[in-house]
Structure 1
Amino acid sequence: MTETTSPVSGVDYSLRADGYEAHIASVGATLRVLRHDGRDLIVPFDADEVRPDYRGATLAPWPNRVVGGTYTFDGAEYVTPLTEPERSQALHGLAAWLDFALVSRTESEVTLAAVIQPQTGYPWRVRVETTYALAADGLTQTVRATNESGGPAPFGTGPHPYLIAGPAPLDEWTLALPAASVLEVTPDRLSPVRLHPVDAHEPGRFDRRAARPLGDVQLDHAFTDIEKDAAGLAVLRVTDPSGVGVEVAWGPECPWVQVYTGDKADGPANPSHRLGMAVEPMTCAPDAFNADRYDYDAGLIVLESGVTVSASWRIGAI
């Protein structure tokens, strides 16, 4: 008897429509490949490869970090595993390595679901369902989370794609992000410190309300107070000198976005160094599970028993 096994990234679901091609890996409900007319819009990885750097993963029940892996909710203290041990942080939630099951699919759309089971650091059962859908304006991902526990649960979500603007190096790309505020973080652990106007705190680095080339700027920061377009969407655009690019658009359910220029500690010796730019719309700020520590609205969702919340974002070619 011959056993068949799926690739290490899980079952591969391919989608096609309107010149777009996407591949979704079941582990982490991960966006593994996204192309338009043959051009990569995100940094891809192979189906039979362990996903590097959380590329394309669905993040839940929190995006970004829980500082020290410790938080208090409803009067009780919880400790989660430190999945970023070099910084002693709990990174990107609990769903990124779950194998999501198929709910439905068509040629251009797939819906996958997994359940976060109660555990010592997060004693709530939350069903996470996500739909990827291709259309003429790109790939839209929608995440729906339902609290299947008997009491309220803290929650947040977001994606983790690494964008590729075009063939030029990242230093030559231009970034446009209409955000008025940036979250200062500690340089060693990236723990939140305070919120600043983008034009008051290193404006040459953080103020991207007018599109400017990145140069050697390094970013691994969360932005908020984002201006919306006529459709009520926040839109980030990154473009290549050749005239092509990628945009990410999202609704008011994600008041924050993390932007990371992919810098590695060992620099250009690492083949992943500045290979793409991670753009992560988030329903909440970094360390939102410790929202009471901060003097700004961290956006923590308190998900009541039996309630479903949703959030969506779109990646499209320029």
Structure 2
Amino acid sequence: MSTTNTAASDLVSVTVADADPAPRTLAHDVHDGLTQPFKQLPPKHLYDDHGSDLFHAICDLPEYYPTRTERAILVERAEQIAELTGAVDLVELGSGFATKTGVLLDALKRAGTLERFVPLDVSAPTVHHCAGEVAAEFGIPVHGIVGDFERDLGLIPAPIGPRIVAILGGTLGNLQAGSRRHFLSRLRGLLDTDGRLLVGIDLVKDPAVIELAYNDAAGVTSAFNRNVLTVINRELGADFPVDEYEHVAFFDHENEWIDIRLRAVRDHAVRIEALDLTVRFAAREELRTEISSKFTRERIAADLAAAGLELEDLLTDADGLFGLALAKVA
């Protein structure tokens, strides 16, 4: 890994994860995912720099309730969280620009406990921007990490006191149950006995409300979804006809998740030069790019318990759209 101080502030350091051939890379994921009978890709590859920009645009759409609802919960309950946790150390996984986390940072600062912020994100420009902004606003050390939170948790520094590890925005719902519980158990390893985990979870509700959030009228979510094909074309020398895939998002009632896919308009073959691989798509064949599980209190409590964590509180908005699960070491 390499660690550098930014010119913007002596308070900021950024650690960049070294490329490691062992963990799964884009090439491995594409080969595995596109050679299965039912084609699918992990959602992390949606988030190159352009994909990150598109996702930030999605967060401002009128149909997309999770971001504004989660922020409203934080505005209402951040002081309570700060008082309960006494956190001196805040770690955010998939931090983006820390726009929502800023509410919690402000509450911890006002409580007189905040000493450090650790944002982790896959986008280097995002981490540098976020770290500089937080250091300038709050006057605290910021240790940014450019990496993948599924494999780079080891780069997170040890706690310096009571800690909150936050993973917001419903990101946990992108994992299926077994993987989700395994991941939560790894997050538990980042906490001392006085630490807390803060998890954003989208709640089970009217499926029409959920589906609308992923099928916006402006087509931004559609562009975000198709961007993964642009990433593969650029990085692996593929020739996906990006504009000939339709965005599909629907609520799966059995699994209680939103299922997001790309549907081929016509029968065609895709050549992926870096893999020496040709993949056929039949007309209307679908490629899954993401799931987003929705939660009940019972579901998140069970997932946490399986990871050695105890649900301490579930903070929700008045309409029951979204929740923040606060957990401690069991």
Normalization by structure 2: what TM-score?
A: 0.34
Normalization by structure 1: what TM-score?
A: 0.35
